[in-house]
Chains A and B, each alone.
Chain A
Amino acid sequence: MPLDTGFVGRVYPATVPYGVCAAKIAEFADAIGDENPAYRDKSAAQALGYSDVIAPPTFANIVTLEAAYAVVHDPALGLDWTRVVHGDQRFVYERPLQAGDEITVVVTVESIRSMAGNDLIVLRGDVDTVKGERALTSYTMLVARSAEAEAESEVQP
């Protein structure tokens, strides 16, 4: 059954504030093999004009993906989360996240449409500091595959 497009425009409550810290930034940079000194060395970040170490651009996925999952699991929306895959992801940055930021995500259902039996849902996540400064906006497209489409793909080579 297609998703109810009446959910478009629905805004979910802000997530619990997440504290961006230097140790987590360094751990993330290590995990993706990124040696940029601005992620680990405060003076290197300051040389680029920041007040503290900054986070790699996709560090934001830590908070935006979790915020998106809260929507996916909203029983009112009725999405079968076992059929949901991450279709695409886009970030629009105002500034990099940096150590000391406390951030929240407010998710809005941007669009819902059906294509070839699959539901495509776009969630916008506004990532702001608790002081009210916009750091970035995330656009997450989730694809809820229909049971029929899934059955068909299984018989393909």
Chain B
Amino acid sequence: MSRPDFATLEVGQVLPAQTMIITRETLVRYAGASGDFNVIHWSARHAQAVGLPDVIAHGNLTMALGARYVTTWAGDPGALVEYGVRFTKPVVVPDTDAGAQVEIVGTIVELGDANKVRVDLTVTCDGQKVLTQARAWIRLP
């Protein structure tokens, strides 16, 4: 697996954007895999009863997609030394084949010592930021 070369990276560099799809099937799978069976992630009836427009994705699933984006770029998932997000807006997942489209783009904002790189992520759905303060520190070889 190819790894980015620290020496060639520049602050301000924008990494290739990626669109990730969340369908109801994704939510069912994530509920089982994570053990988070909160009803607002699979029942429209319950989601609407608490004022949500429809079923919403687990915040931690959206967080996981951000980690997937940045570790795919880094090559080695163990290169991630720190990763944090703020859950700003829920990702509403309609019961359609298309589901919800989550757009992720990373920007290099800092090059630290010991080949550490800070990548900030912009994570949006329908043009709205769903995560903010999404930042990752990666240690490159």
Taking Cβ atoms with an 8 Å cutoff, the residues of A that contact B are: 24, 27-28, 30-34, 36-39, 48-50, 54, 56-58, 61-62, 65-66, 85-93, 95-96, 139, 154
| Other A-B pairs beyond A56-B77, A57-B67, A90-B85, 5, CB < 8 Å | A31-B29, A31-B33, A32-B68, A56-B71, A87-B87
- Shortest B63–chain A CB gap in Å is 6
Residue B115 at the chain A interface, CB threshold 8 Å = no
The count of residues in chain B whose C-beta lies closer than 8 Å to any C-beta of chain A is 34
When chains A and B are docked, how far (Å) is the Cα of A57 from the Cα of B76? 11
Taking Cβ atoms with an 8 Å cutoff, the residues of B that contact A are: 1, 20-21, 26, 29-30, 32-36, 51, 59-61, 63-65, 67-68, 71-72, 76-78, 80-87, 133
Q: Is the interface of A mostly helix, strand, loop or mixed?
A: mixed
- Residues of chain B within 8 A (CB-CB) of A33 are 20-21, 26, 65, 68
- Residues of chain A within 8 A (CB-CB) of B35 are 62, 66
When chains A and B are docked, how far (Å) is the Cα of A85 from the Cα of B58? 11
